[in-house]
Structures are given as C-alpha cells and as structure tokens.
Chain A
Amino acid sequence: MNLPAPVRWLMHFFRPPHAQGLDLRRRSILVAGAAGVGSVLLVRTSAQGEGRTFNPALIRPPGSAPEEEFLSKCIRCGECMKVCPTNAIQPAISEGGIAGLWTPVLKMKLGYCEYECNLCSQVCPTHAIEALALEAKQKIRIGTAFFDRNRCLPYASARTCIVCEEHCPTPKKAIWFEEVQVMKPDGMPTTVKQPRVDPELCVGCGVCENKCPITDQRGVYVSSVGETRNAKNQALLDSGLGYGGE
C-alpha cells in the first residue's frame, strides 16, 4: 500500500518499530501516575492548605494570585527573586507548605516591597504574579504591620524614634502617632511619640519593619493578614473586599 508520506509519518508515531520506541512499561506509567496523585493528596491534606490556617509569614509579592492558583502557576524559577531591588523576595522553605518550596515570599528583615516598583509582576513567566500597572499595585495589600509594644522603643523604653513613620510610603501615612507622657528610668516625665498602624491605609510593604533599629527582632513587623488576594485572611469587618460571607 503506497500511502502518502505525511500519513506514513503520522502512523509511525503510533506504531514505531519496537526498538525505536519509547519502550515504557505500562505498569511503570501507572506507578508514576499514582506518585503524582499521591503527592497532590499529601499536599492537599496538610494543615496549611487553603482556608484552614494562615501562616503570618506567607507574604507573597503584590499581584500574586490566590494561593491555590498561585501554586498551580508558579514554576519556582526565581525571576522575581532576581529582580527585586531590595532583596525582599526569598525562596520559601516551610512558609508555603511542602508544595510551596522555593516559591517567593517576602522577608522584611532583608528587604521591603518598594512602593514605586512592580518589577516582580513584570518578569513572572506564568503570571502567577499578575502583571500590574504601578498604580494598581500600590492599592494592593500584601499584609498588615503590627507593633510589638514590648520592643518598640517609645513604648518599651521611653525613647523617641518613629523611623517607621518616617519611611512609610503611602500618600497618607499608614503609621500615625500619639504624643504620650511617659516616665523615664530616672523617674522624670518625658513626652514620646508612640506609633500606631492604621490597617486601612497599610499596604504591608514592610519598610517599617526593615528600617526599625531593633535589629534582631523588630519592634514592628508585617504579617499576612489583610492581604488583598485572600478574602478569608482578613481581620477587619470593613476589609474592602466585600461582605460576601467569608
């Protein structure tokens, strides 16, 4: 039978001469498939899955998809880590669970999310971090800052500071302060400015945590609650994400 060349070629795909074929054992293919299924089930039953517990350290770059979608798109390539100008984006080890190994998380002690930058969203090849215009990125919250009053200097040791407020980049600063009269170690009164976060204005950029002078464990830190991409990880009644019963 003299079939035309393209047809012969297509047929050869499905019936190659035995020695030239891929020679994959059917049983081994099934085992491989089972391994794939098994790994997914292992991941899905972990306590850190979507909507069960929320890891305060799982702070994703602005523009990141909700977690399940993020894990389905992110190829752990490290482009975002390469491009981040402050070195904030780090490879997750445990923050994202097993499936999140080497996905990007922000560690504010090393860097912070620069307000006038959206490079990570520009370089992500699969749009796990959605490409955003700068103005859109500036409205996204990746977490919320909280003061550790046991450490923050104006609370803990009657010293002036508010470097955090100095660096806060939002058009109306998300850190405000109250002038409070406190007692110094020598018993004399003094007035200090005690900083507070306004969670409605805070975008979680982390410059406050990054610049806090208490170097080992900061007096102010960002945690993931309030992140725009997750309607469940919210604390405020008026989170700005609607009241859809989450």
Chain B
Amino acid sequence: MRAADALCEALKAEGVKHVFGIPGGASLPLYDALYDADFEHIQVRHEQAAGHAAEGYAKASGNVGVAFATSGPGATNLITAIADAHMDSVPTVFITGQVRTDLIGTDGFQEADVTGITMPIVKHSFLVTDPNQIPDYIHKAFHIAKTGRPGPVLVDIPQDLSKMEIDYEPITGPPKLPGYQPNTEGNIKQIRIAAKALANARRPVLYAGGGVVNAGAAEELRELAGSDRFPITCTLMGLGAFPAPHEQWLGMLGMHGTRTANYAMDEADLIVAIGARFDDRITGKLSEFAPRAKFVHIDIDPAEISKNVPAHIPIVGDVKKVLPKLTGEYRALAADGSRLDEWWRRIEGWREQYPLHYEDSSDQEIKPQLMVEEMYRVTGGDAIITSDVGQHQMWAAQYYHFSKPNRWLNSGGLGTMGFGLPAALGAQVAMPDQQVVCLAGDGSLIMVCQEFATAAAHDLPIKVFLMNNGHFGMVRQWQELFWDERYKSVAMGPSPDWVKLAEAFGWTGILCDRKDELAGTMQTALETDGPVLLDVRVSQNENCYPMIPSGAAARDMVG
C-alpha cells in the first residue's frame, strides 16, 4: 500500500471523521490519498485557522482534532495554533508535509525545520525517516495527544516517503512507548491525607481548572463539592466544569474574576487545586498569593505540581479517577459541616458587598456587558460559545453563566486573538446539531476574516456576534489605566463595513446599534439559516472590571 494511503487508514482506525487543512507541494501525495479517504477534509483559507478549527473540534467534542499543512510556510502558519494547543492542553495531531529527504537541510524550496521550530511547543513530535514508520507514528501521535495531559503532537512527513509502497497491517493494541507512562490513579495514601485536611479545614476553597473539563470530570467535581458545602471557583479554562448558577459557586477567580472568589482564595486555609496550574493570571503577585493556605494539588502532569506554588499534599493522577476516591474518603470521615458556617457568612458578605456590576446606559448605547447578558438570555445559556481574546472574552467569562463543560471554547494560556471564528468552525463541524456562537472582538475578527469563506463553502451555520468597540479594547484599557492615557495604535480607525463584508462572503449580515434592537437582532441572527454576522456597536471606552492590576495581590483588586 502507498504510505500516504496507509496514513489515511491509520487515521480512520483512530476514529477520525474530519480533518482541517490546506494542500501544497509537499503534501500532494497526502491529498491524493485524501481523495479516496473515508473522512471529510475541511478546506480552510489559512493554515492557522486549520489549527484553531482542530482545537475547537477537540474542545467541543473531546475527540482529537487533526490539521494538515504543507511544508515551509504552510507548516509555520500552524505554529500559533500548535502553541495554543500546548498551553491549553488540547488533544490535537498536526500532520505536515516536508520536502523530499534528499532536499532536507539544503534550504530547499518551501523547506522549514518544522520539528525543530515546534520542539518547545509540542507534547511530542515525529519526523518520518522511513515510510514504514508512518502508520505507527500516527497511532503513537494519537495516543500521546489524548492520554495523560492532552496536547499537540506533530508528524512531519517528507514528500518522497509518503509516495513509497509499504507493507501495511492494521495496528491493534496500545503503541509501545516505554518513556511515556502517565500515572492516572492517584496515590490513595495521599488522597486520604487530603480528605483529612479537608475535614479539618475551616476555610476551604475548591479551585478547578481546565483539567476537569479535559478529563470529563464535571460530574465527579460536583460530587466532591456536594459532599459538604465547599465553596468552589473555576479558572477561565474551567468554566462550565461546575454550574455557574449553583449556590456554592463563587464565580471565576483571577485577574478579572469576582472579588468573592479572589478574597476567598486570599483568606482560605486550604485550597484544593484540581486540574489547574496556578497561572500568573490566577495568582497575581505570587509571594502574596493565598498567604494563609495549605495546598492540595491534583494534576495528571507531575511537573505542574509545585511548579509555581509549592504543594503540601501533591496528588498525581487523572482527576476523573482521583475525585471519586477523595469524595469517598471525605464522606467516610463524617466531618461536621457546621464548621463551614462562619466561612460561608464571610463569603456571603463579600457576595452582597461586591457583586459583578456595571452601569447601564440611560440611552440607546449598548454596554458590552449587556450584550453578553442578552446573548445568555437568547441562547438559553446553552450554546457553545467561542471567543477571541480581550475584554469581550472576560465579559463573556463573567456574564455568560456556563453550566456545562465543553461549551466555552477560548484561548486562555496563549491568549490568541483570532481564535474564535476558526474554533467555531471546528466546533460546528464536530457538533452539527448544536448552536455555535462566536463572540468576537473587532480587533480579533479581522485577523481571521478570510474564514468567512470556509463557513460559506462548507455550509456551517455559525453565528458571529461581533462586539464592535472600534478598539483593541483591552490594550486601550491598559493604556488608559497604566500608561497615562497615551493611546497608541489601539483605535481600529476606518473599520470595514462588517455587514457588507459578511455579505460579500455569502453570509447574512445584520447591524445593531440600538439597545432596544439588541434582543430582536440576536434572535433574528439565531433563527436565520446559514452563517450570520451580527455587528453590535457597543460602548467604545468601557473598561473590564474588577481587576487585579498586573503584579498586584488579589486583595488589591480595583474597580
């Protein structure tokens, strides 16, 4: 069998239904094989979008997302998406064409050392040197991408090798990877100590991150939280892992989290970190982070434990397996729940004193926070929401009360503007029956607006709600607050006519610039067949609050 066909067989064996990509010289054999493949290839308009679409596909469905690109510039265009998938632990496989083996190292046409360039931003990578390796590497790539802490794996295939004939036999059983043995169970002795610590804590907080979503452990998390009245907060990546409307929910924590969540972390005596990694956007000034707390840290990646914050009770394991054990051990202790009463009184006090709030306009001006609240209402809180990066992302995190996992797809670690639209394409391909809404920023959307063509060509009925404030809003906010209002290169100037632009790509375009039309236009957008862009003109100078200024401590939140 031709090696490129064996690659498709291997992908099929891995359950692949869709791949995203753009062809090119070095990947011609691969695309010739795709001609006959049993899965669908979604042709995007820029390789970066192929990568983000694969991420959106993976985040929405939990299955591995796959992107194809050719050598050189095709592959380098994937870099941002690979780095993004690495930071947010997204199970993805990137398959790149490489120049012929006799050209490698000669600076051949469209040659780039892609395995070298991506080394710091992949979970693992394979450079094929023998065509017989191709199916084996594909299976290994999928295994590594989706097990342990998920992440991106790259397979780089020289053009000549993919054309060669090989003896292909379907591979069964787990691949042989002696240096890769993720520890999933969690040490039961450590789990018992953690249960005892919880039983003795008077001011505990559960702090859950994206690892809970990745592990599919939302139910297990709810069980733990429900084993007593434990206050719980989620990171940006963890939103949806615990239902936001729940009474034990403190809101998101971190730089734009609620005061309640951040103050609770600040005063906690025990913090149980669950699939979370103490990012600087969470801790603020590290030396003043949660100064009174002891830490239980549960993570599948041992290197995350004690990386930023030293753990007192480290537990390496899959949270889906560890949490039920911890819940069982805790319940067996029959701890007196009333010890938490005082802590809850303190928390309720913050809740009352510092709810999330904004001042609505008295006229027809649309406040961005109101736009998110309206989105929440018209979608019934049940849509898959993708976002770009910036103010709108934070407002979505604050005001769209996610109650299920895998509904909030955004770029947290890398903070990639332009993530939302391609991620929405991927999510819609993965979940054709779900309502997929991209909450876009105008600064971000224009970076990837060529992908309107992809949605039109593949008939993907995504809805883009553009929060159009005419600025790189978050940068504008920082220049206002921390750089003496010396605004530089943050106004978008003569932005395109978004409605016309959408229509040019075969979309429906709708403009909304009055508050009293907001709900109606959103409803129309959702009910219109095919892809729709709703250009919502919001206040230009609204700031996102509350906020922990960069490098400050949680208790010094402003706004």
User: A and B: partners?
Assistant: no
